[in-house]
Structure 1
Amino acid sequence: MKNGHDKKNTNPTIKDVAKIANVGIATVSRVLNNSGKVSEKTRERVIEVIEELGFSPNIHARTLSSKNINSLSFVVPDMGNEFYGIMYSLLESRLSKHNYRLIVFPLIDQISLEKIKQNTDIIYQTDGVFISSLSVTNIFQSRIPQKTIVLIDSFDERFDSVYVDNENIGRTAADYLLKNSPTKTNFYLVTFKELNNEFTSFVFAKRDKGFLEVMEKHNKKVKIIYADLLWEGGYKALESHIKNKPKNYISVFATCDMLGVGAKKYLEEKNIVPKRDYSLISVDNLPISRLFKLSTIRQPITEMVEIAYEMFISSSNGRKKVENYKLEGKLIERET
């Protein structure tokens, strides 16, 4: 076989595919779900590895039939987002030490959600459920599984939860821009408009709220631009409102790193220089933010996963009292 593998792994995982194809887990997920941008060369390499390993989405069924491995569900909005790919890797590495296999359930469309609602999905057969950035009630309706449920990056007082104070993240972003902006400044909020449906976590709405409250307190007008949740979304957002280099200073709050990368790329193409002509801050502190030297507010992904893991283990060992942890973001100042 190619890639130096003599035989197929009897139980390959998405992590195995990513490692051998030399790509991220999020990239493999995008290929499997045919979502997001992946170059044709990368797509072909991932598909080749999938075929060589014998990997299949039906791995869920094989995992559940194993007598030696306990399975847990990981319900996320979209594994194509690097944020959730990192979260999955961290959580899976910790749980594997206790012989748990983490099965991903990305709610990428209405069909996948309806399966869970109808109580027909194998998510009900797993030994526990981790849910990230989604509402338990909206997902399961009245059929909430009677097993350990841990929420990551979302809050529900009925269940163990670890989450970030997103309103305070918005306030931190506002304080940063106000500190770095001269009197004559045009302020922009580049964000994602969440629809009020089953997929909504209101993470972005909370960041928007905290940011706008501070700006209003300082009598600053803010142009709100809604964008697609891709780096191209941030690019197009500023492209639609800043055609040429403006006379006033520019200050931008992009509510996630993907939007921030696109916004910075557009400003660079217009020869608008950071800290001289503009300030920009985003949220997450993903690896791409370091590459683009974005000032950002770090989401404590590692800490959230560690706490979620500990809550699951202690609950499995008999703890009855519900635990909730609220964490804070941390300002990371770079070029912008």
Structure 2
Amino acid sequence: MPTIKDVAKHANVSVATVSRVLNENGYVNEDTREKVLESINKLDYQPNELARTLYTRRSRMIGLIVPDITNPFFPELARAVEDVTNAKNYTFILCNSDDQVLKEKNYIDVLRKKYVDGFIIVTSTLTNDHLEGINTPVVALDRNFEPDIPCVSADNYHGAKLAVEHLHNIGCKKIAHVAGPEFVMNAQHRLRGYLDMVADKPFFSEDLVVNGDYHLQNAKEATMNLLKAHPDIDGIFVGNDLMAVGVLKAAETLAIKVPDQLSIVGFDGITLGETTSPALTTIAQPIYDMGAKATNLLMDMIEGKPVEETEYTFPVQLVERESAKKGMMLSE
């Protein structure tokens, strides 16, 4: 197997020149660069990536930490991260944290030892204190992190209001909410959007809000108890699409017809919502665009480019399918 010395000899240059070409570090005139690359190609030289990483302290790898890989929302985000990293000759490592701060800290510590170049983190538990002394670039995705860490997310508050407004406009008289975990910021924003739309309505009471923890089975059980306690509920805004599937299952178990008796609107816009029966009306986030934006932003930070903004909020849109009634739009 040819070595870097063989390449240098073949190209009639120094080993240091070959190293500068390989690491894209330092000046090499174009003729010399082409000569070195030609020798590398002819000799089929394969650089020692481990040695390069140790020398440059750069791995061309980034870490993506997500809280629940079983939620289809996160694989859809990961696909965007993969596409962008591959296009820029990077790779990424996907880490599932289960929203546990110790797992998140451990992933960060392990990957830093492997000279990972940056992190995209979806977290509701880490704080700046946990990242003290870490000079590796970090971008927060889907959930706000700390004010000085760039964040890419969707307009969760407006999306929640849009969902409740739609349920009201199609004639729903008693609208409930299946919320995400209380400690997750995007769940808090979606809950606040719901409350701001219904708090002054005659039907509203605090027990119309139940927690599904962003899990299908938890949402199903919470919804069954909710509908048994309030059989006159005719509309539910659900904090994410995975929980909305649980709400559909709860209605099916209780023999409640969707959308004739109960209209359901989810949040996320994951592909799963197109496959349910009935298909899920939802507030769609631009999931791929959010993942791509976070990755490109991280790449800029790795390359030392200035970050002009620290918060990027993507708009959302209502996608009407079959889980909510159709009807004439009614005025407020």
TM above 0.5, yes or no, is yes
- Which residue identity does 1:213 align to in structure 2? D
- 64 and 283 in structure 1: CA distance in 2 versus 1, 3 angstrom threshold: farther
- 279 and 98 in structure 1: CA distance in 2 versus 1, 3 angstrom threshold: same
The CA deviation at 1:334 is: 0.8
Residue number among 102, 121, 124 corresponding to 1:131 in the alignment: 121
Matched, 1:178 2:168: yes
Aligned partner of 1:312 in structure 2 is 298
- Name the SS of the counterpart of 1:78 in structure 2: coil
Determine if contact 1:151/1:162 at 8 Å carries over to the other structure: yes
Number of matched pairs:
263
Aligned partner of 2:178 in structure 1 is 190
Select the structure with the greater relative contact order (CA < 8 A; seq sep ≥ 6): 2
Q: 1:256-271, aligned counterparts within 5 Å? A: 256-271=240-255
Distance 1:227 1:238 in 2: 8
Distance 1:129 1:271 in 2: 46
Determine if contact 2:84/2:296 at 8 Å carries over to the other structure: no
- 141 and 148 in structure 1: CA distance in 2 versus 1, 3 angstrom threshold: closer
Deviations 1:181-208 (A, max 9, x none): 34xx33221112334xxxxx41111100
Aligned partner of 1:221 in structure 2 is 204
- 72 and 268 in structure 1: CA distance in 2 versus 1, 3 angstrom threshold: same
- 269 and 66 in structure 1: CA distance in 2 versus 1, 3 angstrom threshold: farther
- Name the SS of the counterpart of 2:210 in structure 1: strand
Determine if contact 1:158/1:322 at 8 Å carries over to the other structure: no
Aligned partner of 1:112 in structure 2 is 103
Matched, 1:251 2:235: yes
Matched, 1:288 2:283: no
Matched, 1:84 2:77: no
Aligned partner of 2:136 in structure 1 is 147
Deviations 1:104-155 (A, max 9, x none): 2322235424536xx7422352111111244652572423x21322222133
- Name the SS of the counterpart of 1:238 in structure 2: helix
Distance 2:270 2:282 in 1: 9
The CA deviation at 1:72 is: 0.8
- 269 and 120 in structure 1: CA distance in 2 versus 1, 3 angstrom threshold: closer
Deviations 1:235-288 (A, max 9, x none): 111221324994x35111110111111111221333322332111101011121
Distance 1:284 1:174 in 2: 15
Distance 1:226 1:64 in 2: 48
- 258 and 66 in structure 1: CA distance in 2 versus 1, 3 angstrom threshold: farther
Determine if contact 2:176/2:233 at 8 Å carries over to the other structure: no
Aligned partner of 1:237 in structure 2 is 222
Determine if contact 2:176/2:236 at 8 Å carries over to the other structure: yes
Distance 1:268 1:120 in 2: 46
The CA deviation at 1:73 is: 1.2
- Name the SS of the counterpart of 1:241 in structure 2: helix
Determine if contact 1:130/1:150 at 8 Å carries over to the other structure: yes
Determine if contact 1:181/1:251 at 8 Å carries over to the other structure: no
Residue number among 188, 204, 207 corresponding to 1:205 in the alignment: 188
RMSD: 2.7
- Which residue identity does 1:88 align to in structure 2? A
Distance 1:64 1:193 in 2: 42
Distance 2:245 2:80 in 1: 24
Aligned partner of 2:326 in structure 1 is none
Residue number among 292, 312, 315 corresponding to 1:328 in the alignment: 315
Distance 1:221 1:65 in 2: 61
Determine if contact 2:63/2:119 at 8 Å carries over to the other structure: yes
Aligned partner of 1:60 in structure 2 is none
The CA deviation at 1:65 is: 3.5
Determine if contact 1:180/1:279 at 8 Å carries over to the other structure: no
Q: Which has the larger radius of gyration?
A: 2
**Structure 1, unaligned stretches of length 5 or more?**
1-62, 196-200
Determine if contact 1:159/1:322 at 8 Å carries over to the other structure: no
Distance 2:251 2:230 in 1: 9
Aligned partner of 1:279 in structure 2 is 263
- Which residue identity does 1:334 align to in structure 2? R
Determine if contact 2:143/2:185 at 8 Å carries over to the other structure: no
Distance 2:182 2:243 in 1: 15
- Which residue identity does 2:263 align to in structure 1? S
Determine if contact 1:191/1:224 at 8 Å carries over to the other structure: yes
Matched, 1:299 2:289: no
What is the TM-score of this pair, normalised by structure 1? 0.70
Distance 2:237 2:103 in 1: 33
Distance 2:60 2:166 in 1: 46
- Name the SS of the counterpart of 2:199 in structure 1: helix
